[in-house]
């Protein structure tokens, strides 16, 4: 049972063949260091032996990019150990809203549209139903005048509707209503009307409170959209050789360079967008698949031990041995954010 469950989940998450091809591609780039057209940088020098690593692909910016970078779209690779922190979040935007009586009736109408095959078909069905109901009411009431009286009588839907919004209007903006009305009535004026309206507003609030009731605002949670997924990765690097010192410096430079814009070659009053980042894990099957992301910030702490600690780096100056200094340890923090929203389709087919 467990085997069949895992097999079905793996099938839903995408082809294992494509995953193996991606892993082969990354392992080959890590082995060879890339080529003249597509460099690969890795730290530390024995990263392949450590086995648990990730690859940062860098590619040119594409505004609405959602899919992972293909091999020929990758400009360069940067291989680093898996960070100590690794998490993802799936956040949705919901808003608590007062629908009011009209909104609640609209929600019923919308549900009718949804059940009848979409907005257009549902709208037509809903309008036809309401026209038919009005005709039936007109016929059963015995004529136009009886129909109007019935619609406006206490207990009818229209009566409840008017009462609901009359109370709300007087309670909330009675002063403003009174000012407008008073301005139109000879001998009253806007100021007097505002005072009368304010008194009516307070009276209405007191009356409703005295009755021990409160207007039902018909609260609802309205959905708007998913949020982009943010990520933050942090590493503490301790180079063990001159080679690793130089490699680490190059890795940090390449990340800073890719995250920065450049002046447009045709018009220096504009920037060209920075590069995009796409991170692949060596063993992604039970993790998640990050998509194309922008880099929001790179923070480099050169005194990772909270004090200035350096070691000597030998260099040759005028054919004599000299030394320069390099930090003993460096902390690198990257903040990324995906540039698309995650939907059910991407979760089921791309393991987002």
Cis before 44? omega within 30: yes
pLDDT digits (tens, 9 = 90+) for 229-257: 999 999 999 999 989 999 999 999 999 99
- Distance from chain centroid for Cα 173: 37
pLDDT at 99 (0 to 100) = 80
Q: What pLDDT sits at residue 100?
A: 77
The answer to whether the pTM exceeds 0.75 is no
Q: Which two tokens mark 142?
A: 């015995």
In this predicted model, what pLDDT tens digit does every residue of 114-155 receive, in sequence order?
A: 666 655 555 566 556 655 555 555 455 554 445 444 544 555
**Rg, Å, the chain Cα set:** 34
Which residues neighbour 111 within 8 Å (Cβ) at sequence distance 6 or greater?
Answer: none
Looking at residue 295, its pLDDT comes to 96
Q: What is the pLDDT of residues 300-329, one digit of tens each?
A: 999 999 999 998 887 654 555 567 889 999
Distance of CA 238 to the CA centre of its chain: 35
Structure tokens at 184: 């139109």
**Minimum mean pLDDT range among 76-80, 99-103, 287-291:** 99-103
pLDDT for 26 equals 87
Q: At what angle do helices 119-141 and 100-115 cross, to 10 degrees?
A: 110
Could you give the C-alpha distances from 113 to 107, 120, 132, 133, in angstroms and in order? Answer: 10, 8, 17, 17
Find out whether 65 and 93 touch, Cβ atoms under 8 Å: no
Task: Determine the Cα–Cα distance for residues 284 and 86; give it in Å rounded to an integer.
Answer: 12
Report, as an integer, the average pLDDT of 98-108: 74
Mean pLDDT of 87-100: 90
User: What's the sign of the alpha-carbon dihedral 306, 312, 315, 318?
Assistant: positive
Q: Across the chain, what does the average pLDDT equal?
A: 76
Lowest mean pLDDT of 68-77, 87-96, 181-190, 231-240, name the range.
181-190
Cβ–Cβ contacts within 10 Å for residue 24, how many?
Answer: 10
Q: What percent of the chain has pLDDT over 90?
A: 39
Residue 14 binned pLDDT confidence (cut-offs 50, 70, 90): low
The yes-or-no verdict on residue 77 having pLDDT over 80 is yes
Check residue 158 and give its pLDDT: 46
Helix H, strand E, coil C: the string for the chain is CHHHHHHHHHHHCCCHHHHHHHHHHHHHHHHHCECCCCEEEECCCCHHHHCCEEEEEEECCCCCCCCCCCHHHCCEEEEEECCCCCCCCCCEEEEEEECHHHHHHHHHHHHHHHHCCCHHHHHHHHHHHHHHHHHHHHHHHCCHHHHHHHHHCCCCHHHHHHHHHHHHHHHHHHHHHHHHHHHHCCCCHHHHHHHHHHHHHHHHHHHHHHCCCCCCCCEEEEEEEECCCEEEEEEEECCCCHHHHHHHHHHHHHHHHHHCCEECCCCCCCEECCCEEEEEECCCCCCCCCCCEEEEEEEEECCCCCCCCEEEEEEEECCEEEEEEEECCEEEEEEEEECCCCCHHHHHHHCC
The proportion of the chain whose per-residue pLDDT surpasses 70, expressed as a percent, equals: 64
Who contacts 27 (Cβ-Cβ below 8 Å, separation ≥6)? 48
Q: Residue 173 has what pLDDT?
A: 42
Q: What is the rounded distance in angstroms from the CA atom of residue 100 to the CA atom of residue 169? A: 12
Which residue is listed with tokens 């016929």? 139
């Amino acid at each position: 049972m467990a085997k069949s469950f895992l097999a079905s989940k793996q099938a839903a998450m995408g082809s294992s063949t494509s995953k193996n091809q991606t892993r082969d591609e990354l392992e080959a780039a890590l082995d060879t260091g890339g080529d003249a057209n597509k460099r690969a940088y890795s730290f530390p020098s024995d990263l392949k032996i450590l086995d648990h690593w990730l690859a940062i692909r860098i590619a040119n910016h594409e505004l609405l990019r959602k899919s992972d970078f293909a091999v020929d779209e990758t400009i360069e690779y940067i291989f680093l150990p898996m960070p100590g922190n690794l998490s993802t979040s799936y956040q949705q935007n919901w808003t608590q809203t007062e629908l009011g009586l009209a909104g609640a009736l609209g929600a019923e109408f919308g549900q009718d549209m949804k059940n009848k095959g979409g907005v257009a078909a549902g709208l037509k069905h809903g309008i036809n139903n309401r026209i038919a109901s009005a005709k039936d009411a007109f016929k059963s009431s015995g004529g136009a005048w009886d129909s109007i009286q019935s619609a406006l009588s206490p207990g009818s839907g229209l009566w409840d509707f008017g009462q609901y919004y009359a109370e709300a209007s007087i309670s909330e903006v009675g002063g403003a209503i009174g000012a407008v009305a008073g301005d139109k009535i000879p001998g009253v004026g806007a100021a007097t009307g505002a005072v009368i309206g304010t008194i009516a507003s307070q009276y209405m609030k007191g009356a409703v409170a005295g009755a021990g009731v409160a207007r039902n605002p018909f609260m609802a949670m309205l959905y708007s959209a998913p949020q982009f997924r943010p990520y933050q990765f942090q590493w503490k690097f301790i180079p063990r050789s001159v080679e690793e010192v130089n490699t680490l410096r190059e890795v940090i430079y390449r990340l800073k360079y890719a995250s920065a814009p450049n002046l447009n070659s045709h018009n220096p009053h504009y920037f060209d967008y920075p590069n995009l980042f796409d991170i692949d894990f060596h063993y992604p099957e039970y993790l998640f698949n990050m998509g194309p992301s922008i880099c929001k910030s790179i923070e480099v702490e050169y005194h990772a031990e909270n004090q200035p600690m350096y070691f000597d780096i030998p260099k040759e100056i005028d054919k004599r041995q000299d030394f320069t200094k390099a930090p003993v340890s460096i902390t690198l923090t990257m903040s990324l954010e995906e540039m698309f929203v995650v939907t059910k389709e991407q979760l089921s087919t791309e393991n987002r």
